[in-house]
Chain A
Amino acid sequence: MDNEKLSLPQYDIPEDMQHAIAVTTLDRLYNWGRRSSVWPLMFGLACCAIEMIAAQTARYDMARFGMEVMRPTPRQADLLLVSGTVTKKMVPAIVRLYNQMPEPKYVVAMGACASGGGPFKEGYNVVAGIDKFLPVDVYIPGCPPTPQALIAGMIKLQEKIDKQTMKTNRWYDKKKVDANYVPVPVLGPDLMDPRRYDELKAAAAAKATQQESA
């Protein structure tokens, strides 16, 4: 066990007992468990997916961080690595995958495209960042981030997990039952987010009045 991360130095332990007992909190134990076994979903979108695969191979070996078990099914995965350009046609599938993942679940936006649209942001079929739909934990810039940059991002995610506590984790909040469910976007004349229907309707109506006045 990683003593440094786990035991709490806040308590004075008598010197003769220091090697016999360890004091920790449930939070630390729990975070240690989660941080050391983040299983990513085997899910590649675009160019970044290749660097993600490269990060799993011999030279970079993400297994050293307990992240080698790429699960093809979302039901066994903890981490959605959005590795590549999110297109409008694809985003309903991504949201569905996210909804199927059990908690605790994390989302990492790998690369420029997943973080903010990337070089293709202006494209008509491109979603400008997955954070428009899912709560993103870590953003990794780069086009594509090299495997080392990806691992640096993963370490950043582990640091984030270390700081979490069961009291505030959104998936334990009984009041927010829907916090982990994102409504699946609908493909209409353009991409429609069910959470924003009123806004879209109002803007479409405003467009009509604008045209009339012009």
Chain B
Amino acid sequence: MYGKGILKGLSVTWKRFWETYTEDISWILRGKKRYNTVEGVTHRSSKDTKGIFTVQYPDERLNLPEEARYIPFLVYNEKPDGDKEILCTSCGICAKVCPPQCIWIVRSNNPETGRPIPEPTEFYIDADICMNCGFCSEYCPFDAIKMDHDFEIASYERNVFNMEKLLKPSSYYQSIRPENFAREEAARKEKEAAKAAKEAAKAAATQ
């Protein structure tokens, strides 16, 4: 019969249409909220999603995985006196590995001693060249540059980020990437402990 295939196809769309409502009803019957909850969004992003698939950004947001990457930022530790301890030592690996070469690092010398200061004087990332590849954070030996989760950075101007805009506290880093942060902290502690043990052994040996 001509038209049988069309009807068969329409039954698929029809089923999908009704599933939105049956799904809503079943959530209500179970006494759960389907919209504007993390649980609802997670369910809609899982294999069991049925019916409506929309995540109503900006009212609801997708759960960003930990590894999600956008524009890089520089991490600093907050000192008790409010100063910023910038982790970057301006070693330049990120600038060297950056595929589109969008990182500029300015170093300067200490006027008194004439030696280079490890902290960068200026740090620029041209966000309109950056390709979000994540190499800078992947190869940074000091865990000083990390990829941000913040994607709501549209602006009315071209985006060139300077130090001021790039610096973010390590507590922020911990909040967006708890697992990575914990792993790096553990590695750092281990290293410090090993170093302390070595020094202790050295001190014991010299005595």
Contacts and interface: CB of A to CB of B under 8 A. Distances in A.
Contacts of B100: 118-122
A76 interface: no
Interface in A135-153: 137-143, 145-146, 148-149, 151-153
Interface string B121-135: 000001111111000
A64 interface: yes
Chain B facing A: main interface SS: loop
A75 to B, nearest CB: 27
B113 interface: no
Interface stretch (A6-14, A20-28, A53-61, A192-200): A53-61
Interface residues of B, number: 30
A139 B158 CA distance: 6
B55 interface: yes
Contacts of A91: none
Contacts of B56: 64
A139 B129 contact: no
Interface residues of A, number: 33
A68 interface: no
Nearest to A118: B129
Contact of A117 (B62, B128, B159): B128
Contacts of B127: 112, 141
B131 A145 contact: no
A115 B156 contact: no
A141 B153 contact: yes
Given A58-B53, A119-B99, A121-B100, A139 B154 contact: yes
B112 interface: no
B2 interface: no
Given A112-B131, A118-B128, A153-B154, A141 B159 contact: yes
Interface in B145-169: 151-159
Contacts of B154: 138-141, 145, 149, 152-153, 156
Interface of B: 52-58, 61-62, 70-71, 99-100, 102, 126-132, 151-159
